[in-house]
């Protein structure tokens, strides 16, 4: 796949060489980070709107924590500790499916059940990581938790690209059905929507997205990028169209700024942290606009 | 007289029972609904009306037999009791209609093939010009009309209505009632949970009173004129106009 990535890589490096863009783009890892940002931004921004509608913000957090256990399992079974994708995907998918199965069986509210699983995943993750910490460079754990574009390689980009294509192919045709299923499951069922099946599909999508973004954004912070741009877009929009398109825009801008700014100004901030801080800044601005501009005024209670 | 162009199904329920947890919701419910008729399900709160309707829609683990004799069109238009959703969500009336009626992702806009149909139905229900309004900012009655509007696209053969008149003003009440009557006159079948006994007597063809089990059923006017009905509805004698 290197030939495929080389086209935009050479283009950006050429621009940097001619002094049109900043010289940091001469570094391949910066260009890789940028390419990933153009995939992660729209992907998490778009799916994030559904996460907000379905009130599943903390589900992704639980999956992020489960990814920590996935890394530990990968180390135990001898996978590459810099990219233990098999273990992360395997464990996180099992974890996500179990969570959704429990939700359907217990009929407990999402926030309660996700809260329970969030704690469980954190406890297991912390325990297993401590257990294997003697066997690996513990710095790699920082990378998994908070993201680092320095370590992004072609394998990571391939995983991200395949995940993005798969998510788009599944989520676009099913978007309306998923939305209707979360607004009124009974009505959706009458309209031929397989509500429970789509819940599992959505859980799987968020799970593989979370795992695919771990290297860039970090397991602990993926949830924030699913949530904050969508929340910011929600502040300013009255329609689904504006909600989704602005969420995608905010998410992409956050990723680009978060990757570029630490390089450009030599800031000691990991990419994941910088991305989320950018998104948080956008959210605060939209909140300010909402508070000040009269057209957003609503009932006090 | 209207030409009957919709082929509504006949429906037959035979010994339908439903138990959820330790609670017996329905007990051996049997009745039939003629094709192209308006059938009202009435009864006290908690009597199992919504559970009965949801059993008909295949959403409840009931026992017994429910047979719907479809013709070519198998579309069900369903109006749930309430649209229980987060009112701050950025969903407009057009968004809601589009997400219910089309496959194209709603954030790409209403598809051309549905645009005219949606506009016509909204106008018919007194919602012209409300398409861009946020669903959460509409009044309860307007939201109820939107819920009813989505049930008409695509054209159904069977309308299943769970108290669609809740919160409606007089104008909205009349508009929806007229739509239901026109639908049945065109040949569509209507199953309607309704608490308005006067309305039931005026426009329903048949009626079933459900309180866990069937307490009354038959021709609406005859059933509601019976002495048993007067016992079930203490205010019936005053509410019903003299026949």
Kindly provide the ipTM of the predicted complex, given to two decimals: 0.91
* Predicted pLDDT at B241: 56
Mean pLDDT of A82-106: 89
Q: B163 and B57 share a domain?
A: yes
Q: B109 and B35 share a domain?
A: no
Mean pLDDT of A249-262: 92
> How close, in Å, is residue B149 to chain A by CA atoms?
13
Give the strand order in the sheet containing B23-33: B23-33, B10-20, B63-69
B3 pLDDT tier (thresholds 50, 70, 90): low
Strand, coil or helix: A249 = helix
Under a CB-based contact definition with an 8 Å cutoff, are residues B6 and B29 in contact?
no
Q: B57 and B164 share a domain?
A: yes
> DSSP character for A297?
-
Range of the domain at B199: 1-75+157-243
Mean pLDDT of A201-213: 93
Of B154, B173, B188, which one is at a domain's C-terminal end? B154
Cis peptide bond upstream of A285, omega within 30: no
User: Under the phi-then-psi rule, with left for phi > 0, alpha for psi from -120 to 50, and beta for the rest, what region is B78?
Assistant: beta
Q: B191 and B203 share a domain?
A: yes
Tell whether B107 is within 8 A of chain A (Cβ). yes
Q: B174 and B140 share a domain?
A: no
Residues of A in Cβ contact (< 8 Å) with B96: 183
Instruction: Evaluate the CA torsion angle A168, A172, A177, A179 in order and state its sign.
Output: positive
Q: B242 and B161 share a domain?
A: yes
Backbone angles phi, psi at B160, to 5 degrees: -115, 115
Tell whether A244 is within 8 A of chain B (Cβ). yes
Query: Domain coordinates of chain A in residue numbers?
Result: 38-291
Q: Give me chain A's average pLDDT, please.
A: 89
Domain count, chain B: 2
Greater confidence (B234 vs B178) lies with B178
* Predicted pLDDT at B2: 52
- Contact at CB, A183 and B83, closer than 8 angstroms: yes
Residues of B in Cβ contact (< 8 Å) with A178: none
Of B99, B123, B154, which one is at a domain's C-terminal end? B154
Mean pLDDT of A252-280: 89
Rounded Cα distance, B5 and A295, in Å: 47
- Contact at CB, B107 and A175, closer than 8 angstroms: yes
- Contact at CB, A241 and B108, closer than 8 angstroms: yes
- Contact at CB, A238 and B100, closer than 8 angstroms: no
Mean pLDDT of B98-108: 94
Tell whether A169 is within 8 A of chain B (Cβ). no
* Predicted pLDDT at B1: 46
- Contact at CB, B99 and A189, closer than 8 angstroms: no
Partner-chain residue, chosen from B54, B80, B105, that has the shortest CB–CB distance to A175:
B105
Mean pLDDT of A190-208: 95
- Contact at CB, A234 and B90, closer than 8 angstroms: yes
Backbone angles phi, psi at B211, to 5 degrees: -140, 80
For chain B, the DSSP string reads: -------PPEEEEEEEEEEETTEEEEEEEEEEE-TT-EEEEE--TTSSHHHHHHHHTT-S--EEEEEEE--S---EEEE-S-----TTS--BHHHHHHHHH-SS-GGG---HHHHHHHHHHHHHTT-TT-TTSBGGGS-HHHHHHHHHHHHTSSPPSEEEEESTTTT--HHHHHHHHHHHHHHHHTT-EEEEE---HHHHHHH-SEEEEEESEEEEEEEHHHHHHSHHHHHH-TTHHHHSPP-
Q: Is residue B42 part of a domain?
A: yes
Of B154, B187, B205, which one is at a domain's C-terminal end? B154
Mean pLDDT of A275-293: 94
Q: B148 and B162 share a domain?
A: no
| pLDDT at position A84 over 90 | no
Mean pLDDT of A259-280: 88
Under a CB-based contact definition with an 8 Å cutoff, are residues A126 and A72 in contact?
no
Residues of B in Cβ contact (< 8 Å) with A55: 86
Give the B window 108-167 contacts with A, CB below 8 Å. 108-109, 132, 134, 150, 160
Per-residue pLDDT of A117-142, as tens digits, reads 889 888 988 888 888 877 777 777 77
Q: Is residue B180 part of a domain?
A: yes
Q: Which of A53, A182, A186 to mutate to test the interface with B (most CBs of B within 10 A)?
A: A186
| pLDDT at position A1 over 70 | yes
Integer CA distances (angstroms), B108 to A90, A172, B100, B211, in order: 34, 10, 14, 46
Partner-chain residue, chosen from B86, B90, B100, that has the shortest CB–CB distance to A239:
B90
Residue B85's closest chain A neighbor by CA? A183
> How close, in Å, is residue B99 to chain A by CA atoms?
5
Q: B56 and B166 share a domain?
A: yes
Residues of A in Cβ contact (< 8 Å) with B134: 238-239
Q: B131 and B182 share a domain?
A: no
| pLDDT at position A112 over 90 | no
Per-residue pLDDT of B45-82, as tens digits, reads 899 999 999 999 999 999 999 999 999 999 999 999 87
Under a CB-based contact definition with an 8 Å cutoff, are residues B51 and B29 in contact?
no
> How close, in Å, is residue A178 to chain B by CA atoms?
9
Percentages helix, strand, coil for chain A (3-state, rounded to 5) are 85, 0, 15
Query: With 0-12 CB in 10 A as exposed, 13-18 as middle and 19+ as buried, what is A238?
Result: buried
Residues of B in Cβ contact (< 8 Å) with A187: 78, 80, 100, 150
Rounded Cα distance, A62 and A96, in Å: 9
Q: Is residue B85 part of a domain?
A: no
User: Under the phi-then-psi rule, with left for phi > 0, alpha for psi from -120 to 50, and beta for the rest, what region is A258?
Assistant: alpha
Residues of A in Cβ contact (< 8 Å) with B139: none
Tell whether B61 is within 8 A of chain A (Cβ). no
**CATH homologous superfamily for the domain A38-291:** ABC transporter involved in vitamin B12 uptake, BtuC (1.10.3470.10)
Q: B124 and B171 share a domain?
A: no
Radius of gyration for chain B, computed over Cα atoms and rounded to the nearest angstrom: 18
A78 pairs with which residues across the strands? Answer: none
Under a CB-based contact definition with an 8 Å cutoff, are residues B61 and B97 in contact?
no
Rounded Cα distance, B85 and A180, in Å: 11
> DSSP character for A84?
-
Q: B71 and B163 share a domain?
A: yes
* Predicted pLDDT at A299: 63
Under a CB-based contact definition with an 8 Å cutoff, are residues B187 and B36 in contact?
yes
Tell whether A295 is within 8 A of chain B (Cβ). no
Q: Is residue B83 part of a domain?
A: no
Partner-chain residue, chosen from A172, A191, A242, that has the shortest CB–CB distance to B100:
A191
Q: What is the largest CA-CA distance in chain B?
A: 58
- Contact at CB, B106 and A187, closer than 8 angstroms: no
Per-residue pLDDT of B194-215, as tens digits, reads 988 889 989 999 999 999 999 9
Partner-chain residue, chosen from A175, A186, A241, that has the shortest CB–CB distance to B80:
A186
Structure tokens at A8: 């935009």
Q: B220 and B204 share a domain?
A: yes
Structure tokens at B199: 């309305």
CA angle B63/B67/B73 to nearest 5° reads: 140
């Amino acid at each position: 796949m290197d030939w495929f990535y080389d086209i935009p890589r050479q283009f950006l490096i050429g621009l940097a060489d001619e002094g049109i863009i900043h010289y940091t783009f001469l570094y391949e890892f910066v260009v890789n980070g940028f390419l990933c940002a153009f995939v992660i931004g729209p992907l998490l921004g778009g799916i994030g709107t559904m996460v907000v509608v379905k009130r599943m913000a903390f589900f992704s957090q639980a999956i992020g924590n489960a990814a920590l256990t996935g890394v530990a399992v990968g180390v135990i079974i001898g996978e590459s500790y810099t990219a233990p994708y098999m273990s992360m995907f395997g464990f996180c998918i099992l974890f996500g499916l179990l969570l959704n199965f429990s939700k359907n069986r217990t009929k407990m509210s999402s926030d309660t059940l996700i809260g329970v699983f969030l704690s469980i995943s954190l406890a297991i993750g912390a325990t297993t990581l401590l257990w294997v910490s003697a066997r690996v460079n513990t710095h790699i754990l920082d990378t998994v938790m908070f993201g680092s574009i320095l370590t992004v390689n072609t394998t990571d980009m391939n995983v991200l690209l395949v995940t993005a294509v798969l998510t788009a192919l599944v989520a676009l045709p099913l978007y309306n059905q998923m939305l209707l299923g979360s607004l009124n499951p009974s009505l959706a069922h009458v309209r031929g929507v397989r509500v429970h099946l789509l819940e599992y599909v959505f859980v799987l999508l968020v799970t593989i997205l979370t795992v695919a973004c771990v290297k860039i954004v970090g397991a602990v912070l993926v949830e924030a990028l699913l949530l904050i741009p969508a929340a910011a877009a929600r502040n300013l929009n009255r329609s689904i169209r504006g909600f989704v398109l602005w969420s995608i825009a905010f998410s992409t801008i956050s990723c680009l700024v978060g990757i570029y700014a630490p390089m450009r100004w030599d800031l000691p901030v990991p990419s994941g942290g910088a991305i989320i801080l950018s998104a948080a800044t956008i959210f605060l601005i939209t909140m300010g606009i909402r508070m000040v501009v009269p057209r957003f005024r609503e009932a006090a209670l | 007289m209207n030409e009957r162009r919709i082929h509504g199904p006949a429906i037959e329920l035979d010994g339908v029972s439903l138990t959820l947890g330790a609670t017996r919701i329905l007990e051996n419910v049997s009745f039939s609904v003629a094709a192209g008729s308006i059938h009202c399900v009435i009864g006290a709160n908690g009597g199992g009306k919504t559970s009965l309707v949801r059993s008909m829609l295949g959403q409840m683990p009931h026992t017994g037999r429910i047979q719907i004799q479809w013709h070519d069109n198998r579309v069900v238009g369903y109006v749930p009791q309430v649209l229980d959703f987060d009112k701050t969500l950025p969903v407009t009336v057009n968004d809601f209609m589009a997400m219910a009626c089309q496959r194209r992702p709603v954030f790409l806009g209403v598809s051309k093939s549905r645009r005219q149909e949606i506009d016509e139905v909204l106008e018919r229900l007194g919602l012209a010009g409300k398409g861009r309004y946020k669903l959460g900012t509409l009044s309860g009655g307007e939201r109820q009309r939107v819920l009813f509007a989505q049930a008409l696209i695509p054209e159904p053969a069977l309308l299943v209505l769970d108290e669609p008149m809740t919160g409606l003003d007089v104008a909205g009440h009349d508009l929806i009632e007229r739509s239901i009557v026109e639908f049945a006159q065109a040949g569509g079948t209507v199953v309607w949970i309704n608490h308005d006994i006067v309305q039931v007597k005026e426009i329903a063809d048949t009626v079933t009173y459900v309180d866990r089990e069937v307490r009354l059923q038959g021709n609406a006017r005859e059933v509601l004129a019976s002495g048993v009905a007067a016992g079930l509805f203490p205010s019936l004698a005053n509410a019903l106009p003299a026949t």
